Amino acid sequence: MDKRFPIEDQIDMLAATLKGRVITPRHVEYDVMRQLVPANYDRKPAAVIRVADAADIAAVLNFARATDLPLAIRSGGHSVFGSCDDGLVVDMRNLNGIEIDTVARTAWCGTGLTAGEVTRAVEQHGLIVGFGDTASVGIGGLTAGGGIGYVVRKHGLTIDSVLAAEVVTAGGDIFIADATNHPDLFWAVRGGGGNFGVVTRWKYRLHPLPQFTGGPLVLPATAEVVAALV
């Protein structure tokens, strides 16, 4: 990018090269698109980029590096790190493809999907992924951070069910990382957060859907009960 041009013009030039959509403060939907779930974090990025594929992400990363703009990656929008002031927000929401192999019990899932969307898709086949208890959380950050779910004692963390990941590195390269190909990167993205690249898809091992029985246990907050618990 030519730094002689104002950053707004450079962002427009970037937009012309992408398949996805670039939303800037000039767009009427900007205030909606920039909002996180924790609404008290009122960030105002220079652009929200709703990417269409891994190639879009690679182009945005290269642009951010060339312009020294701050960069944030957003999957479901629950993390406060999913936005930034005066920088670029990569919105993954349109990376929402899912490919389920019921014979192998695996699924490739785009990181724009939420835990609820994946759960509803795989449970139709009597299968589950070990996600948490909030359906609206994006699987991108949930999985990259480890992932604690209802079946953690039986199947481990969410990352223990990850078989592969499609990753865009800071250099703009796109890799499929698994136990055989790029094993160090595969190890790092499972629990390492967003520090080693942008994951566009996760491949999960699926598990048989068990029968769940649950309910609340409510105790009176008396001194005797508190003393017995602690």
DSSP string, 187-224: HHHTTSTTSS-EEEEEEEE-EE-PPP----------HH
Distance linking the first and last C-alpha atoms of the chain: 61
Per-residue pLDDT of the chain (230 residues; tens, 9 = 90+): 556 667 888 888 899 999 999 999 999 999 998 888 888 888 999 999 999 999 999 999 999 999 999 999 999 888 888 889 999 999 999 999 999 999 999 999 999 999 999 999 999 999 999 887 788 999 999 999 888 888 888 888 999 999 999 999 988 899 999 999 999 999 999 988 778 899 999 999 999 987 777 788 888 989 999 898 88
Q: How far apart are CA 116 and CA 139, in angstroms?
A: 9
pTM of the shown model: 0.86
Sketch out the chain's domains with CATH numbers: 7-91 (3.30.43.10), 98-208 (3.30.465.10)
Q: Which residue has the tokens 């670029």?
A: 88
Contact 76, 83 (CB under 8 A): no
Q: How far apart are CA 30 and CA 52, in angstroms?
A: 18
Given the DSSP bridges, would you call strands 71-74 and 106-110 parallel, antiparallel or unpaired?
unpaired
Q: How far apart are CA 81 and CA 85, in angstroms?
A: 11
Q: How far apart are CA 159 and CA 194, in angstroms?
A: 14
Q: How far apart are CA 205 and CA 186, in angstroms?
A: 15
Contact 63, 99 (CB under 8 A): no
Q: Which residue has the tokens 């069910």?
A: 161
